[in-house]
Amino acid sequence: MLVDKLNTNTEMDEVINDIIMLKAQNDREAQSMDVIFTERREKEDMIRAVEEDIVQEKQAAQDIIKKMSADKQAKYTEMKATNEELLQELYSHQEELDALMSRKETFEADLLHSQAKQEAVMLHEKLLELENRRDAMLAEDRNMGSPQEERERLFKQVKENNQEIASMERQLSEIREKISHLTEEMRQLDADMEEHQGERTQKYKELQKREEEIDSYLNTFEENKCQEQQLIRDTQSSVVALLEHSSRNISRLQQLSAVTAQELRSMQDDLSFKETEMQKSQSTARGLSSESERLQQDLLKVEQLEGKVGTELQTLRDQLELMTRELHTYRDLDALKAAGEDRKKRLQEDRVTLTQRKDTFKKMLHKMNEEYESLKNQLQENETHVELTNMERKWQHLEQNNFVMKEFIASKGVESDYRPVVKNVNKQLQEYNKILVDTLQGTRN
């Protein structure tokens, strides 16, 4: 700016005024720099003082650790090593996580700005969906066999159903025999327990009621079984007929080259009808399978009821035996009274003994509480313990202050970086001095 003024023949007074203004500005900036330098020196002194305090606290902590027992020192060393390992592992995982997050953000940004990649992702997802559908269709195709295999499978299923029905009939016969046996036992028990009233008699009546329910269920079950067997036979006949028609139609399909269009349509209609009938037979077979499962569940319930009845009968026998023993016991009232008096005497003696022990334990507990309070007060009054507690608190406080001061100094260091300002000021001073020298020389000439 001064060079421009000199080139434009500006008056010397204006140049001198500008020099004075710049000098005043430089003085203010130098004063501000001095203040910043002073603050920085004070902060550095504070940091050194805090670091010295930290060193002293660490030294005091080391002295305290040295005074500890060998077991506590070993435990402290082990915990310190474990802490360092965990910190290293934490830093490693954090770096790995940062790298992965950076890669993820990069990939997401690339995917967001790339239409082709988005389409590729959509196509890849669609391809996976189509592959899953293809695998499902192939699996379904593998599960579906030829008509001959379907026929064999249905025959096998019908055979298995017949075997299950025969097995269920045998089990029902066994259950009937067991129920009749239990009924006979219950009648015998009713005859033996006629003189006993109340809850036991009610339980017998409940068992009789359950027996009647079982008989009613078995009667209806026989009728339902006959109906289901007739339905199975009808379904078997229908399945066999449909399979025979399907086999004939398949053999005819192999000779389609010699069949007219009308016959082909007729065969197609017949095939559609047979497929419909086949689906109906399959649904009927599924219904029979579900009915068989239901019957098996009913059989399981009957077996569970049988077990419950047996358990209750055993309970009643035990109660009857207990009552018999009690009757024998309570016949001799004098002996029971003498035994009661002896037991009362023993209990009174035990009560006196326990009362004495209770008083002794109370005294011991009171004494131990006093010792505990005394040791607690001694520990609180112990200078080493108090000093260690205060030093730990002070150490934490100093660590926190040190961290805050480091952050503050780092921020102020960035704000008070004076080197560019000094360089700029020196450069301007050199330019001003040169301009003044040139101006004075020109004025003298």
Query: With 60 as the cut, is the pLDDT of residue 166 above it?
Result: yes
Most confident of 59-68, 145-154, 161-170, 232-241: 59-68
pTM of structure: 0.23
Of the chain, the percentage scoring pLDDT greater than 70 comes to 61
Average of per-residue pLDDT across 402-408: 79
Q: Identify which has the larger pLDDT, 74 or 443.
A: 74
Q: Is the pLDDT of residue 436 over 80?
A: no
Half-sphere exposure of 113 (CA within 13 A, CB side): 5
pLDDT at 11: 61
Please determine, for residue 384, whether its predicted confidence score (pLDDT) is greater than 60: yes
- Which of the listed ranges 65-79, 117-131, 231-245, 289-303 does the model predict with the highest average pLDDT? 65-79
Burial of 207 from C-beta contacts in 10 A (0-12 / 13-18 / 19+):
buried
Q: How far is CA 130 from CA 46, 118, 133, 134, 424, in A?
A: 71, 18, 5, 6, 71
> Is it the case that residue 105 has pLDDT exceeding 80?
no
pLDDT digits 0-9 by tens, 313-354? 787 778 777 777 766 665 666 776 777 788 888 888 888 888
Please provide residue 156's backbone torsions phi and psi, each rounded to the nearest 5 degrees. Answer: -65, -40
Please give the Cα distance from 382 to 369 (Å, whole number).
Answer: 20
The reported pLDDT for the residue numbered 258 is 47
Backbone φ, ψ for residue 146 (5° rounding): -75, 165
Query: How high does pLDDT run on average in the chain?
Result: 72
Q: pLDDT value at position 41? A: 84
* Res. 253: pLDDT tops 70: no
Residues in the chain: 445
**Domain coordinates of the chain in residue numbers?**
2-59+391-444, 81-113, 114-144, 147-334
